[in-house]
């Protein structure tokens, strides 16, 4: 996709300004084309057949009725589908292996590994025909015993390895002893349910083969990973795979790996020799795309008589699928939040016969902070302390678990500002003291935390003689404003009007980006933009210095300013157009390509030197109906420390979106997996309750806007920090409103009756 800016009168600096989303007009006018909206002549449509048992073998598969439906082109099953190469195993030497969402080689064997696994695909002339024929595929199974009930299996969990460079575990001092000795303590068990992604755009693939060249229109959060994965699966060179993904209709982690749909679409297209579109139904997304792990957690805290923490124990049990999935850093935030001399953090997990778990907005931290921050609140109740005062008292100066310094830490300021603006000091500290008719009113707070990371991203900048700058980077636009904020940065770095910046993104033909995962994309690409513009300016200066009579002769880049579409010194400068024309060039290009190895080495060194994270203070007011237990969030304020905010408009929207998703997790979201069959029983927007407008009050978000000295332009990723702490703030407000501590999510009304 290529987007040209509209604003013409503005001048730099653009960073920090609420520039409107550049892709907005294309989206509201319907011109933005999503994966399922690409048409090809002769295109066919595919529909999946899903297994209805959790584990076993297909005893028989009868496709006669499906094949007999007019306009059915092919019915592919394990008996006739062309073989794919098995999925590569996870290897840290090649991060693209993370794209292996499961180890299952679809339609290759008669084995069934989870309830909902695709076991056949029908290709037909219309989508309706494909779906109808899919319903006629007749399967019988030999069932094998399956382990699918998380609650029943949790006691058998085994220790989990943490992700390298992203530790969740910690052991410092003697936590159990300190807890036993503490004059004040809490020791609570929590549970959180599985969650599923509900992006507005269900996953859809349009796959086209031209000989051994594969073109895919696919909503992707990580084009380079997906491209490599597909090349391996289909035995073709990486260059033979083209992924076009200009717009992703929301993803939240659900589109970062190769789930069955994209693979089977490509397989079906190759087998039939037709362009194939496979658009999943909503239920199809639930059955073939993993979600967030459920968890049980224990948090125990010990404190001395003044409220100084002496012990912190946070342990968790989560699940993966037997066919894939990975540890989620549930206890990770507990490494960073409180100054405690004795810490024990550990994670265990069980393997179930269910689809792999996968990244979902702040995997780990979203639910880990629920337990930790609920426990801290409960300790405050037990001690009769204000929960903010308790947090302030235990705010660390260095990382509590690792001992490193923080690059940036302003939680005290966030709480101070939030308390002031939310009216915290008017809060009657007693539980159940405030009532408005049938409604009990309470306020709660909790800390938000998410680590700030970066990954390598390649960026090319091309300056044209007419002064336009084209930025090329295969980054991902999932609705968060990626192109807009990078255009702002390019405009500032190059000193050109925003309207002169063209951003090309969402295509594997472009230089590979970092994935839009782990809140890394914006900062990672910004680092690439800064590096590429420095290179470009250097080349411009070199060109200029060669020209006789250039006022830039003898100048060093450090002494120059990029502004007014040129390089300037107080004693004179030249516009880019002048430099290019003097050199007889119509354009000049700089390509920044970071090395993965160097990057990882740097990351390892940095992680020993310091800890970097986005954080915040979440303030919530709830109303709980005394008769029915209905819960309504009535006010919200999040004050965040996310470093420099590039664009207040898009940043507010990310933080707000996170908070809304957190309110969903707090009050209503839950994937219902039948413990007998492993089947998801609410795979629809009607029965999986994401918040609706009526559930969400006006949400205030605020930030401190202090740059982090170690990150590009001082920024932190903001995609995930917004959801963290939210469920705890809600639970804590409910505790204040009603006197009840609810430890099991979601907090549905029956828990308050």
Residues, the chain: 753
Residue 95 has, within 13 A of its CA and on its CB side, a CA count of: 15
Active-site residue (options: 160, 328, 621, 720): 720
Q: How far is CA 118 from CA 7, 113, 587, in A?
A: 48, 10, 50
Strand partners, 141: 58
In 3D space, the residue among 479, 490, 42, 78 whose CA is nearest the CA of residue 272 turns out to be: 42
SS3 151: helix
| Out of 272, 634, 682, 705, the residue judged to bind another protein by CB under 8 A | 682
Q: How far is the CB of 65 from another protein (least distance, A)?
A: 11
Nearer to another protein, 52 or 346 (CB): 52
Residue 432 beta carbon to another protein: minimum distance, rounded to whole angstroms = 17
Q: How far is the CB of 682 from another protein (least distance, A)?
A: 6
Q: What is the 3-state secondary structure (H, E, C) of 473-490?
A: CCCCCCCCCHHHHHHHHH
Window 170-209: contact mask with another protein (x via CB under 8 A): ----------------------------------------
Least distance to another protein, CB of residue 719, Å: 24
Which of 28, 158, 605, 753 lies at the binding interface for another protein (CB under 8 A)?
Answer: 753
Beta-carbon contacts of residue 645 (< 8 Å; ≥ 6 apart): 16, 651, 703, 705, 715, 718
Q: In this complex, which beta carbon is closest to another protein, that of residue 523 or of residue 747?
A: 747
Of 336, 679, 716, 735, the one binding another protein by CB under 8 A: 679
Query: What secondary structure does DSSP assign to 296-363, as a single string?
Result: EEEEEEEE-TTS-EEEEEEEEEEEEETTB-----TTGGGGTS---SEEEEEEEEEEESSPPP---SST
Helix (H) or strand (E) holding 381: helix 365-383
Q: Which stretch binds another protein (CB under 8 A): 207-215, 346-354, 575-583, 668-676?
A: 668-676
Strand order in the sheet with 111-112: 111-112, 56-62, 138-143
Judged by CB under 8 A, the residue of 152, 405, 692, 709 near another protein is 692
> Does 681 help bind another protein (rule: CB under 8 A)?
yes
Which of 253, 265, 248, 250 lies closest to 205, judged by CA? 265
- How many beta carbons lie within 10 A of that of residue 495, not counting itself? 23
420 is catalytic: no
Work out which of 403, 438, 572, 709 binds another protein, going by CB under 8 A.
Answer: 438
What do you get for the CA distance between the two ends of the chain, in Å?
52
Residue with smaller CB distance to another protein, 4 or 126: 126
Contact partners, residue 64, CB within 8 Å, separation at least 6: none
Indicate whether 595 belongs to the interface with another protein (CB under 8 A): no
Q: Does 282 bind another protein (CB under 8 A)?
A: no
User: Among the candidate windows 270-278, 586-594, 674-682, 709-717, which touches another protein by CB under 8 A?
Assistant: 674-682
- Window 720 to 749, contacts with another protein (CB under 8 A): 748-749
State which residue, 359 or 688, has the beta carbon closest to another protein: 688
Q: CB under 8 A: which stretch of 170-178, 254-262, 403-411, 669-677 binds another protein?
A: 669-677
- Write out the binding residues for another protein, residues 41-70 only, by CB under 8 A: 52
DSSP string, 609-660: HEE-EEEEEEEEEEEEETTT--EEEEEEEEEEE-BS-S-HHHHHHHHHHHHH
Q: Based on DSSP, count helices (H) and strands (E) in the chain, helices before strands.
A: 17, 31
Measured from the CB atom, the residue of 557 and 672 that comes closer to another protein is 672
Exactly one of 108, 392, 465, 672 binds another protein (CB under 8 A); that residue is 672
Instruction: Identify which of 511, 35, 1, 66 has the alpha carbon closest to the alpha carbon of residue 266.
Output: 35
Q: Residue 607 or 748: which CB sits closer to another protein? A: 748
Q: Is 684 helix (H, G, I), strand (E, B) or coil?
A: coil
Q: Give the one residue of 667, 704, 743, 745 binding another protein; rule: CB under 8 A.
A: 667
Where does this chain touch another protein (CB under 8 A) — which range of 131-139, 289-297, 580-588, 635-643? 131-139
Residue 140, preceding peptide bond in cis (omega within 30° of 0): no
Residues 624-663 that bind another protein (CB under 8 A): 627-630, 632
Task: From 499-507, 539-547, 596-604, 690-698, give the range in contact with another protein by CB under 8 A.
Answer: 690-698
Applying CB under 8 A, among 33, 132, 174, 412 the residue interacting with another protein is: 132
Enumerate binding residues for another protein (CB under 8 A): 52, 115, 128, 131-132, 135, 438, 627-630, 632, 667-668, 672, 674, 676-677, 679, 681-682, 686-687, 689, 691-695, 748-750, 753
| Residues catalogued as catalytic | 720
């Amino acid at each position: 996709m290529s987007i040209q800016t509209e604003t013409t009168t503005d001048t730099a600096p653009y960073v920090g300004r609420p520039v409107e989303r550049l892709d907005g007009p294309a989206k509201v006018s319907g011109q933005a084309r999503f994966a399922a909206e690409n048409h090809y002549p002769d295109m066919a449509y595919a529909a999946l057949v899903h297994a209805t048992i959790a584990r076993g073998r297909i005893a028989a598969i009868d496709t006669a009725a499906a094949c007999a439906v007019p306009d059915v082109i092919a019915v592919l099953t394990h008996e006739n589908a062309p073989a794919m190469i098995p999925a590569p195993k996870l290897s840290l030497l090649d991060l693209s292996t993370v794209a292996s969402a499961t180890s299952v080689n679809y339609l290759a064997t008669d084995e069934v590994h989870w309830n909902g696994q695709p076991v056949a695909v029908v290709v037909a002339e219309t989508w309706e025909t494909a779906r109808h024929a899919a319903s006629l595929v007749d399967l019988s199974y030999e069932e094998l015993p399956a382990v699918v009930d998380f609650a029943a299996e949790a006691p058998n969990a085994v220790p989990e390895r943490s992700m390298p460079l992203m530790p969740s575990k910690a052991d410092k001092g003697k936590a159990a002893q300190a807890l036993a000795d503490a004059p004040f303590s809490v020791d609570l068990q929590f549970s959180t349910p599985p969650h599923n992604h509900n992006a507005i755009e269900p996953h859809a693939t349009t796959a086209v083969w031209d000989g051994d060249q594969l073109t895919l229109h696919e909503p992707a959060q990580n084009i380079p990973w997906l491209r490599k994965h597909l090349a391996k699966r289909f035995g073709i060179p990486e260059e033979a795979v083209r992924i076009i993904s200009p717009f992703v209709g929301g993803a939240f982690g659900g589109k970062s790996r190769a789930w069955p749909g994209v693979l089977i679409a490509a397989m079906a297209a190759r087998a039939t020799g037709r362009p194939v579109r496979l658009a999943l139904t909503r239920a199809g997304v639930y059955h073939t795309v993993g979600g967030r792990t459920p968890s049980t957690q224990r948090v125990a805290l010990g404190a001395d008589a003044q409220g100084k923490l002496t012990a912190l124990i946070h342990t968790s049990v989560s699940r993966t699928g037997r066919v894939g999935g990975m540890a989620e850093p549930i206890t990770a935030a507990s490494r960073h939040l409180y100054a405690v001399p004795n810490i024990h953090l550990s994670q265990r997990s069980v393997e179930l016969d269910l689809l792999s778990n996968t990244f979902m907005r702040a995997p780990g931290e979203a639910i880990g902070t629920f337990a930790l921050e609920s426990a801290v609140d409960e300790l405050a109740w037990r001690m009769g302390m204000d929960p903010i005062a308790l947090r302030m008292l235990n705010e660390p100066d260095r990382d509590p678990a690792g001992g490193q310094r923080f690059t940036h830490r302003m939680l005290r300021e966030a709480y101070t500002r939030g308390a002031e603006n939310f009216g915290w000091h008017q809060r009657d500290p007693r539980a159940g003291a405030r009532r408005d008719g049938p409604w009990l009113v309470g306020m709660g707070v909790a800390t938000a935390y998410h680590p700030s990371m970066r990954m390598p991203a390649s960026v090319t900048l091309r300056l044209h003689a007419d002064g336009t700058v084209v930025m090329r980077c295969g980054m991902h636009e999932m609705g968060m404003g990626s192109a807009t904020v990078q255009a702002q940065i390019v405009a500032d770095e190059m000193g050109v009007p925003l309207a002169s910046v063209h951003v090309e993104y969402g295509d594997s033909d472009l230089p590979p980006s970092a994935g839009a995962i782990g809140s890394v994309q914006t900062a990672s690409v910004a680092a690439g933009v800064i590096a590429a513009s420095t290179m470009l300016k250097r080349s411009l200066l070199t060109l200029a210095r060669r020209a006789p009579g250039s006022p830039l002769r003898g100048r060093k880049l450090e002494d120059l300013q990029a502004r007014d579409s040129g390089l300037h010194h107080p004693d004179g400068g030249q516009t880019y157009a002048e430099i290019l024309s003097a050199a007889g060039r119509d354009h000049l290009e700089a390509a920044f390509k970071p090395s993965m190895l160097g990057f990882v080495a740097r990351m390892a060194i940095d992680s020993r030197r310091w800890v970097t994270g986005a954080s915040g203070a979440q303030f919530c007011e709830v109303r709980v109906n005394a008769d029915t237990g209905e819960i309504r969030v009535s006010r919200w304020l999040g004050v965040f420390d996310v470093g420099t905010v590039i664009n207040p408009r898009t940043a507010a929207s990310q933080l707000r979106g996170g908070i809304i998703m957190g309110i969903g997790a707090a009050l209503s979201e839950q994937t219902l997996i039948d413990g007998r069959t492993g089947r998801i029983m609410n795979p629809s927007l009607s029965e999986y309750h994401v918040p609706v407008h009526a559930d969400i009050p006006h949400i205030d978000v605020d930030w401190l806007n202090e740059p982090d000295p170690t990150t590009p332009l001082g920024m932190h990723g903001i995609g995930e920090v917004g959801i963290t702490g939210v469920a705890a703030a809600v639970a804590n407000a409910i505790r204040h409103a009603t006197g009840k501590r609810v430890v099991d999510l979601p907090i549905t009304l029956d828990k308050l009756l």
